[in-house]
């Protein structure tokens, strides 16, 4: 694969559009597909060629998915199965936060047709996607990873091969479970500080210079919580879905995670709409 190869992007949301723009900057001819005409227009402005249908996207040398759920990922494969049966080998790079079992089934299905499938969920948010500076956690074969490496390097600053198919999804669910928990615990810590008469901002500075710091306290709280912006670009619905999937995975594996149970319940009962930003759960001022 060369930088003159074609990359297809399925899903041009907050993450997919940024990845498509990064692929264009890396020199790839980039085809994009989304159900939203508005997102397609935004992609065109970034140098992405809008595709009229999924079949056009799957004419690309490598295809990247950025979709909300495992059901969406499986649905796309169902729609293009005829195209895949009749074309030369392609590797699908699925950056969606999906379910390990679904990923493994899809990888086996594509392998039977002579194609590759990597679960490559990402961390870094829309800003990281737009800069080509995401962290990718990858599951799949070493051969498929090597095949897709030029595209992965265009989209990410760091790519970690976690293991076989599904391993990237497991790592992402663990990551987002901790992110969700850290949002709650940091908010509660700051609420305690204020209740004790100490400004939350002062205590946050202490946390970020001491052992209580996390990426949430260092990045999310200063950028989106303390100022009341609540616009990180990641919705409540997506985080609730990821926490639910992590809880489901724990049940499937027989792992006892009592704090996960409590965190999952708090996220499920959150008093916010699904399209609200997930950082609202960090609002330590809320009653």
Catalytic residue list? 172
Q: How many CB atoms lie within 10 A of CB 4?
A: 9
Asked if residue 167 lies in contact with residue 117, where contact means CB atoms within 8 angstroms, the answer is: no
Question: Strand 134-139 to strand 122-123: parallel, antiparallel, or no bridges (unpaired)?
Answer: antiparallel
**Three-state SS at 11:** coil
Q: How far apart are CA 124 and CA 214, in angstroms?
A: 14
Q: How far apart are CA 32 and CA 7, in angstroms?
A: 9
Each residue of 78-110: b (16+ CB within 10 Å) or e?
eebeebbeeeeebbbbbbbbbbbebbbbbbebb
Closest CA to 190 of 285, 280, 263: 285
């Amino acid at each position: 694969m060369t930088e003159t190869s074609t990359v297809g992007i399925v899903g041009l949301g907050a993450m997919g559009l940024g990845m498509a723009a990064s692929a264009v900057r890396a020199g790839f001819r980039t085809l994009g597909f989304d159900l939203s005409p508005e997102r397609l227009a935004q992609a065109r402005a970034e140098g992405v060629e809008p595709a009229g249908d999924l079949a056009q996207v799957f004419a690309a040398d490598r295809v990247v998915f950025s979709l909300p759920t495992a059901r969406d990922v499986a649905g796309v494969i169902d729609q293009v199965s005829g195209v895949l049966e009749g074309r030369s080998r392609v590797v699908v790079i699925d950056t969606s936060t999906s379910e390990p079992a679904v990923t493994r089934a899809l990888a086996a299905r594509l392998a039977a047709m002579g194609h590759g499938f990597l679960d490559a969920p990402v961390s870094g948010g829309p800003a990281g996607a737009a800069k080509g500076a995401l962290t990718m956690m990858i599951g799949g074969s070493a051969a498929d990873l090597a095949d897709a490496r030029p595209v992965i390097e265009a989209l990410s600053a760091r790519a970690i091969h976690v293991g076989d198919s599904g391993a990237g999804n497991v790592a992402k669910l663990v990551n987002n479970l901790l992110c969700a928990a850290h949002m709650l615990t940091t908010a509660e810590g700051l609420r305690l500080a204020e209740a004790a008469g100490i400004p939350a901002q002062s205590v946050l500075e202490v946390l970020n210079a001491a052992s209580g710091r996390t990426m949430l306290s260092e990045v999310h709280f200063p950028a989106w919580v303390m100022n009341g912006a609540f616009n990180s670009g990641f919705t409540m619905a997506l985080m609730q879905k990821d926490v639910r999937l992590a809880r489901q995975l724990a049940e499937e594996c027989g792992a006892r995670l009592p704090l996960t149970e409590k965190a999952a319940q708090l996220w499920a009962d959150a008093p916010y709409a699904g399209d609200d930003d997930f950082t609202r759960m960090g609002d330590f001022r809320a009653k």
